[in-house]
Structure 1
């Protein structure tokens, strides 16, 4: 019988390959981890979040023989790619491990044990309020076991095997440590994911078979979950990656701890990954952005996700983008799903309508030395959204802003084709050839059609018809914002400013932004728009209308405008809503608009 080889030290490549093996085992079992995810909220994504964190390591680390260099690269990739509570705790653990390592090519068994124990302390410090009976407890118990065994074992294989047994015991004990785990008779999902990872690492050190790692791949999130109806305390699961100089994790925790719970913060003095459950995502990002550069962000609406899981109203999902100006109350009532655009201000970025409010945006527009720009969501964002929706709905209808104004529609269409082919479910994507309030009215009409029980195939021809029955009239105070936003040439803008022209901007039948008409005062511009509406109402019956306004100071003017339109067409507005910050980049301060849809 061949004698088992002893491993008394490891280099950078062995360390990295053990990570690959651990990741593969987690990928293979992530659906099970999702299934048992009930704490801190039952959102069935802990396995996916851990897998995403490990995937970042796989995609971004090029291993070397040098253990310190490899560990540093793994930690940095984990911080950048960390997702969810468990992912960020793990990232901070890896950062602590790499930070404590000496500049050495190899790692001895004794040093490994010491650094693991210290790394556990880093992980605890990353959590504002550590809760025992979770992943952090299993990390600690495993680390303590490693440290106690270091002088009584022969090599890494024995050390990992024996400490793994303690990790499994600790995992089993989590059921009794948290009431919610005991209620559903499950172990902590994050802890289970970590134990799966340990199991994969051990298997690598046992046989060292690199061929098994050639098939390593991530899996997509599924709809498997424990059927729970626990109350969601805070609405938004919020994450951010940001950089700066002399960043103080404790200070950030103090600044945001009153805004939510489940706070985890990982990283170094130069780069930090933050996780928090909050109702005030925009306020969290306002605080972060003061002295840092926001590199990436993710915000999930946990209340909405919970509603879709347990109280889905229809079999057809209705999706859009954040350029559709429609009130949150209607979005929730009709369960409309949105993929947001991104706003860029200097080096920082914000998620439209989520991590920046209209009030904050217009303050930036007034005071920032950097003029904001916007970018459309990429194909990946739509792939993720449509994959999620196909796990809950029979089909999807998506309404995106004009393809003449953004690549949003194209990215949405390409993603829909991929997911439809993959899942066999119908996804119909429309270029609505407009934006803002008219896009919102179109969505509302489709939502009401779905509500009446019309089938997917019955709705599609109606959408084609309705797209051609919208009009948008935007009264702007000045064209300077359209010029800065690239929608109007500087020469036209210069002439308009010289003449003090107050343009009425609209969208033509192809979806292009045009100057529809113009006046020489704000009052005359609005009166001219009202006269157009009076003429239209004589020629065709108006089905619905809404009023849009930019900054908060225009809200009363918007209500007055609505009353005047009601007098003309004899109907109340569907809603009065603020303009999306992304649209505000071009529309600017003082803008007020009316959107109409014909019968």
Structure 2
């Protein structure tokens, strides 16, 4: 872009590089946005959410000569990548900008001003209860200025420069227009994010420095916040989002379905693709209700309570991360502030988050009723990058332990993300293969959590983890191999022979993390008894540290097994609990397990 000439029209490449410039400014300021995050909840993540939204757009679009084509690409990427309340509102504004633009190669000041003005209504219609003194107000005030004053200018550069006073004045006013902001004397974080975005655009159209923007595509640094202040408490626990696809989707109908589930509702998008954002305490029940509305191709449910606690009431200096195949009682997960990354579950095209938007009872009901057999999919690198970036801003270091690497790509995704975030933040992130699943992984994670509680240093704990992994055993009584076969964990021939001979295998993991058949029986009762005997034999030679009983929707049998283990060990189990749905996919209903760690 020639910064010396008048810019009477904006084409696709001009829009593309202007967007990159705004993105760079917002990414640089994300730490400060997290620090002043008060509304709608003080969970210190507005900057991270807006940055994540921006990153998705940057990674999805490329320069095109057509303004309309570029605007459409930005809007589509924003709808898919929108994260958090501010991210979804911003995405809806971009969608309005795209929808209100005619199919043109380049846009005039008048057409731009008209499209910006009409886009404001898209935001307000998306928000269930619009609150003034937020980014809604600032975007509206800025758009009003553009629309009311564009006729006085013949140059985009001068119009945008002149509009910045209106944006800044509106931003300053947010501190007085909303009680939550006035109380702590800060401006609205989402509104400031939008102003930062505008400032980046202005800087670019003044200088025309494309070279500096291209470096953004090669290096997207993680910016740590300055620190966050405690601005209040939470009303609901989960920041929940969904991307829904279908034909003739009705926003009003969706609004009625979700209205009673929480607050901060925003619905963005079109009749074919909608993005839902809401704060709720029951994401699992919410998504069960949404199944009949459309195809759930993406879900997110961030635990705002945990985000708030680590931002304002962090217990220890080392963060502990696992994935949702880790089975532990929820009270221990909450007490030790363990961060679980949910593994993805799919029934056909419908997407769920293990243990977050689908729980065992619902899972086994769907397993009986759904025509599609469920499949699991690892969290992608981005999910881990977002988490590690957030944790690195609050902890000195991070330890992560995951489901056996030979069965899932989760470990690899975590390792890739850890390497990048560690390199860019300077924070130590150690990732380990548990060579186990379910309660086996859970007991290893609990051992690490207790060591962190005792005040042990990162390197000392990391040095002991391989030993704790070796001392952990999982003995699984499998009712049928059908589900292991369908999940690809056992060959069809082995499954056929086991079914033909009415065999019930006992499986475990070897030292390399491979599944193997330990023994087999011909009745389920003898199988369960044999599991107890195998555990007794091993514990007769080694001292027990901790144990737990796991089951796949068969609590009565699990209670019997727990009673038997009490006789063997002389103590109650840590827990008797349902295995996570993502493990239930492969183990199948009726499976039982004893997980134990020795000293």
Aligned counterparts of 1:384 and 1:535: Cα–Cα separation in 2: 44
Determine which of 366, 369, 372 is the counterpart of 2:368: 366
Conserved in 2, the CA contact under 8 Å of 1:294 and 1:347? yes
Greater shift, 152-161 or 22-31, is seen at 152-161
Aligned counterparts of 1:422 and 1:55: Cα–Cα separation in 2: 16
Q: Is the partner of 1:445 in helix, strand or coil?
A: helix
Structure 2 CA distance for partners of 1:540 and 1:151, relative to 1, 3 Å: closer
Aligned counterparts of 1:523 and 1:388: Cα–Cα separation in 2: 48
Conserved in 1, the CA contact under 8 Å of 2:138 and 2:170? yes
Match of 2:30 in 1: 30
Q: 1:125 Cα shift?
A: 0.6
Q: 1:260 Cα shift?
A: 1.3
Aligned counterparts of 2:24 and 2:426: Cα–Cα separation in 1: 28
Structure 2 CA distance for partners of 1:455 and 1:212, relative to 1, 3 Å: closer
Q: 1:221 Cα shift?
A: 4.4
Q: 1:422 Cα shift?
A: 4.1
Equivalent positions of 1:276-291 (< 5 A) are 276-291=278-293
Q: Determine if the alignment matches structure 1 residue 112 to structure 2 residue 90.
A: no
Determine which of 311, 321, 324 is the counterpart of 1:322: 324
Q: Is the partner of 2:71 in helix, strand or coil?
A: helix
Aligned counterparts of 2:360 and 2:51: Cα–Cα separation in 1: 35
The CA deviation string for residues 184-220 of structure 1, in whole angstroms up to 9 with x for no partner, is: 2111111111112222323334444434433335442
Q: Determine if the alignment matches structure 1 residue 141 to structure 2 residue 121.
A: no
Conserved in 1, the CA contact under 8 Å of 2:532 and 2:561? no
Structure 2 CA distance for partners of 1:459 and 1:346, relative to 1, 3 Å: same
Match of 1:14 in 2: 14
The CA deviation string for residues 76-132 of structure 1, in whole angstroms up to 9 with x for no partner, is: 122122222112111111211221222233323222222222110011011111111
Q: Is the partner of 1:589 in helix, strand or coil?
A: coil
Conserved in 1, the CA contact under 8 Å of 2:109 and 2:154? no
Greater shift, 466-475 or 148-157, is seen at 148-157
Structure 2 CA distance for partners of 1:4 and 1:274, relative to 1, 3 Å: same
Equivalent positions of 1:165-176 (< 5 A) are 165-176=165-176
Q: 1:235 Cα shift?
A: 1.0
Q: 1:280 Cα shift?
A: 1.4
Match of 1:486 in 2: 488
Q: 1:463 Cα shift?
A: 2.8
Q: Is the partner of 1:91 in helix, strand or coil?
A: helix
Q: Is the partner of 1:164 in helix, strand or coil?
A: helix
Conserved in 1, the CA contact under 8 Å of 2:244 and 2:298? yes
Structure 2 CA distance for partners of 1:25 and 1:469, relative to 1, 3 Å: closer
Structure 2 CA distance for partners of 1:567 and 1:166, relative to 1, 3 Å: same
Match of 1:351 in 2: 353
Structure 2 CA distance for partners of 1:353 and 1:390, relative to 1, 3 Å: same
Conserved in 2, the CA contact under 8 Å of 1:283 and 1:355? yes
Q: Is the partner of 2:455 in helix, strand or coil?
A: coil
Aligned counterparts of 1:387 and 1:17: Cα–Cα separation in 2: 26
Equivalent positions of 1:137-216 (< 5 A) are 137-216=137-216
Structure 2 CA distance for partners of 1:359 and 1:305, relative to 1, 3 Å: same
Greater shift, 204-213 or 398-407, is seen at 204-213
Match of 1:75 in 2: 75
Q: 1:341 Cα shift?
A: 1.7
Q: Is the partner of 2:558 in helix, strand or coil?
A: helix
The CA deviation string for residues 256-304 of structure 1, in whole angstroms up to 9 with x for no partner, is: 1211111112111112222111111222332333343333333211101
Aligned counterparts of 2:10 and 2:301: Cα–Cα separation in 1: 39
Q: Determine if the alignment matches structure 1 residue 564 to structure 2 residue 571.
A: no
Q: Is the partner of 1:150 in helix, strand or coil?
A: helix
Aligned counterparts of 2:14 and 2:376: Cα–Cα separation in 1: 44
The CA deviation string for residues 413-435 of structure 1, in whole angstroms up to 9 with x for no partner, is: 44434444444444333322211
Match of 2:92 in 1: 92
Equivalent positions of 1:414-433 (< 5 A) are 414-433=416-435
Aligned counterparts of 2:381 and 2:148: Cα–Cα separation in 1: 49
Conserved in 1, the CA contact under 8 Å of 2:42 and 2:233? no
Structure 2 CA distance for partners of 1:209 and 1:417, relative to 1, 3 Å: closer
Equivalent positions of 1:406-555 (< 5 A) are 406-551=408-553, 554-555=554-555
Conserved in 2, the CA contact under 8 Å of 1:562 and 1:573? yes
Aligned counterparts of 2:211 and 2:424: Cα–Cα separation in 1: 28
Greater shift, 459-468 or 264-273, is seen at 459-468
Q: 1:63 Cα shift?
A: 3.6
List structure 1 runs of 4+ shifted beyond 6 angstroms.
none
Determine which of 226, 229, 238 is the counterpart of 1:224: 226
Conserved in 2, the CA contact under 8 Å of 1:44 and 1:224? no
Structure 2 CA distance for partners of 1:480 and 1:122, relative to 1, 3 Å: same
Q: 1:378 Cα shift?
A: 3.3
Q: Across the two proteins, how many residue pairs are aligned to each other?
A: 596
Structure 1 length as normaliser, TM-score?
A: 0.93
Aligned counterparts of 1:306 and 1:230: Cα–Cα separation in 2: 9
The CA deviation string for residues 378-417 of structure 1, in whole angstroms up to 9 with x for no partner, is: 3443343333333322333322222222233333344434
Structure 1 unaligned residues grouped into runs of 5+: none
Match of 2:406 in 1: 404
Structure 2 CA distance for partners of 1:525 and 1:273, relative to 1, 3 Å: same
The CA deviation string for residues 151-205 of structure 1, in whole angstroms up to 9 with x for no partner, is: 4444434433333222221111111111111112111111111112222323334
Q: Is the partner of 1:539 in helix, strand or coil?
A: coil
Aligned counterparts of 1:20 and 1:421: Cα–Cα separation in 2: 24
Q: 1:511 Cα shift?
A: 1.7
